[in-house]
Structure 1
Amino acid sequence: MSDDIQQQYDALALLSGGLDSILAVKVVQEQGLRVKCLHFVTPFFGKPREVNRWESMYGLDIAVVDVSDDFVSMMRGRPAHGYGKVLNPCVDCKILMMRRTRALLQEYGARFIISGEVVGQRPMSQRRDTLNVIRRDAEVRDILVRPLCALRLDPTEAEERGWIDRSRLLSISGRGRKEQMALAEHYRLPEIPTPAGGCKLAEKENARRYWPVLSRLPDPQARDFKLANVGRQYWAANRWLTVGRNKADNEGLRKLARKGDLVFKVCGFPGPVAVGRQIDDDPWTPEEVAHAASFVASFSPRAVRSGELVQVELSCAGSSGQLTVMPSRQPGPEWAENQWLAVREEIKADARKLYDE
């Protein structure tokens, strides 16, 4: 590595796009230090389309880092530190991002890491003991600086070695926002972003979409969770059908369909696109395909009102054909959307099973 690359940045910052992460960068930049911000994305969080706007608005230097595969792998194996109130593995998520940031230090020629965490702000991931667990398990104990609350924590090697001036760091704690708002005014931020959040795994509506993917597919991948983000999600045992709700969904589903998927579209009537995700070693039977086509057709009001058999175009693996069906949600498998209360009990049972093992 050349000297030019080694001297490119002083620190790497985890940047969610929330207020705290932006302020943490500003506190460090105010010391004349060069910061490269890393914005992590997965199917569950991240706003890569906002990066250019953030760079211009806040004077930041940002790189997008996609950790989808690593994140889904962690979810498949179940997070070592468990979930929050919904399906959010906040502690393991932060450890994963810290580890990836540590691995990128040499690439960017940086010496330490900064994050916008505040002691006591979040009940699961920002308790003092949890903050210590994160820096221990991510192996960043000596190089992780939390500028907003550093004075409430023990000095790190980065501070003791003078890479950053500890006396100019802050001692914010708790869930209040008064000090952050004052800082935002001090730095004249043109727009006050949300405190952070934005993780779909923390929302019940999304958790009920994701849990069946995680628990019923034999080897769920990032692309499966991307599909779960779109349209209506229906399951019949381990058969999964996604039905578009509008034009945007329909276009999105066509893009997300992979080679082995079944893609349905009613012919001659306005209606949704639907994707049936097949498992390679467990293809759908002809009867299941026909029932799914009938179910999809039932989402076309005009097709239903016709009272007649309709044609449904079926595409799979580069070939296509048509099925003649009656629009109906019966007979056949009982396609159903998973409800949060039932999903919550499944998540709890899964956690108990892992604990017993």
Structure 2
Amino acid sequence: MTCKNEKHYDALALFSGGLDSILSVKVLQAQGLSVLALHFVSPFYGTPDKVGFWRREYGIDVRPVVLERDYLRTVLLSPKHGYGKCLNPCVDCHAYMVRMAKALMPAYGARIIITGEVVGQRPMSQRRDAMNSVRKDAAAEDVLLRPLSAKVMEPSEVEKRGLVDRERLYGFSGRSRVAQMELAAELGITKIPTPAGGCMLTEIAPSARYLKVLRAIADPGPEDFELCNQGRVYWADGHMLVVGRNKIGNERLRALVQDTDLLFDLRDYPSPVTIGRQFPGKPWPEEVMRDAATFAASFSPKALREAPGQAVVVAVTCGGTTREFSVLPSRVTPLGWAEPRWEDVRAERKELVTV
């Protein structure tokens, strides 16, 4: 049953905004098919601010789709196919997005799901067996099409049913981008996306931060990981402290403050926004607040310059309650606040909840 007032499309596309996803959409458009691009957004990937640009520059209808807590529970915490080098559950992630796209098909009257995957381009998610696993796990055997690699794969049900012309699809494979660049030129695509800004779960530094959150909270939400993206993240004895890097970062951090968070502010000197996240059922004792205040105060250059070796007052606010601590600013404290390093925490990945 289709929803009223929704424009109908022939196909839904998993759309990252990279060249391959753009090409896959344009290939179907060249066959006269209408395509809606679904741009999935999570704390780890997605640039919804580019939707307008994609529409104007490439003539592609794009709809952002925000991944919520269920994604974290079923994919990040419990990947059936495991993780890649860092904390990336690529195969399970792709299958999840295909399932979401399939669930949206009736609303748009769509009969096809496409992706920009190319056989052999990525070592984990774009192996032939991994791509087959995605199709099966998402129960999308009858609707899923990879336009850029169709000719080096068995004909899909979409092709067999005549919904697309197989002869006008492609047989790209491997890591070379030469064929894609040639196709882009042929299709009149002149602004080639920079191949950067991908999934942060594939990167060592953010993965270390995320893994600490996964181990500390039984049921983390997107907001917990978003907090990790917006500042310098320090841990001590199971407590997380986030310190703003600059003016923009400070503004973003303030927007993420929750009622149960601890907000650290120097009373007499400017300082970066500093948030202590209190996890459910784990309130901070007074000695932890004081230790964190000592550490937070050390990030105020003006306090260090104008009051060297002197105590400063740090206000710690939670909800409507404020407590003040007189502390001597220092990066070296009894609790030893430190940024998580992948080499120190990677073993904890094996201890995550799995099914």
**TM-score bracket, shorter-length normalisation:** over 0.9
- Write out aligned runs for 1:1-357 (5 A): 1=1, 8-75=8-75, 77-195=77-195, 198-305=198-305, 306=307, 307-347=309-349, 349-350=350-351
* Structure 1 pair 280–86 and aligned structure 2 pair: CA distance change class (3 A): closer
Amino acid at match of 2:188: R
Instruction: Using the TM superposition, give the Cα deviation of residue 197 of structure 1 relative to its aligned residue in structure 2, in angstroms.
Output: 6.0
Query: RMSD value over aligned CA atoms?
Result: 2.0
**Other structure's SS at 2:351 match:** helix
Deviations 1:296-343 (A, max 9, x none): 001113323412221212221133343322212344311111112112
Instruction: Using the TM superposition, give the Cα deviation of residue 71 of structure 1 relative to its aligned residue in structure 2, in angstroms.
Output: 2.3
**1:17–1:196 contact (8 Å) kept in structure 2:** no
Q: Distance in 2 between matches of 1:132 and 1:257?
A: 42
Q: Distance in 2 between matches of 1:71 and 1:260?
A: 24
**Other structure's SS at 1:39 match:** strand
* Structure 1 pair 335–188 and aligned structure 2 pair: CA distance change class (3 A): same
* Structure 1 pair 39–158 and aligned structure 2 pair: CA distance change class (3 A): same
TM-score by length of 2: 0.94
Q: Distance in 1 between matches of 2:13 and 2:50?
A: 17
Q: Distance in 1 between matches of 2:320 and 2:166?
A: 61
Amino acid at match of 2:150: A
Structure 1: give runs of 5+ residues left out of the alignment.
none
Q: Distance in 1 between matches of 2:197 and 2:348?
A: 25
Moved beyond 4 Å, runs of 4+: 1-7
**1:41–1:68 contact (8 Å) kept in structure 2:** no
Q: Distance in 2 between matches of 1:89 and 1:320?
A: 41
Question: What is the aligned residue count?
Answer: 353
**2:294–2:333 contact (8 Å) kept in structure 1:** no
Deviations 1:213-269 (A, max 9, x none): 111223211110000111111111211111112112211111111110000011222
TM-score by length of 1: 0.94
Q: Distance in 2 between matches of 1:141 and 1:173?
A: 21
* Structure 1 pair 3–71 and aligned structure 2 pair: CA distance change class (3 A): closer
Structure 2: give runs of 5+ residues left out of the alignment.
none
Q: Distance in 2 between matches of 1:296 and 1:98?
A: 44
**1:43–1:68 contact (8 Å) kept in structure 2:** no
**1:118–1:149 contact (8 Å) kept in structure 2:** yes
Instruction: Using the TM superposition, give the Cα deviation of residue 195 of structure 1 relative to its aligned residue in structure 2, in angstroms.
Output: 4.3
Instruction: Using the TM superposition, give the Cα deviation of residue 286 of structure 1 relative to its aligned residue in structure 2, in angstroms.
Output: 1.3
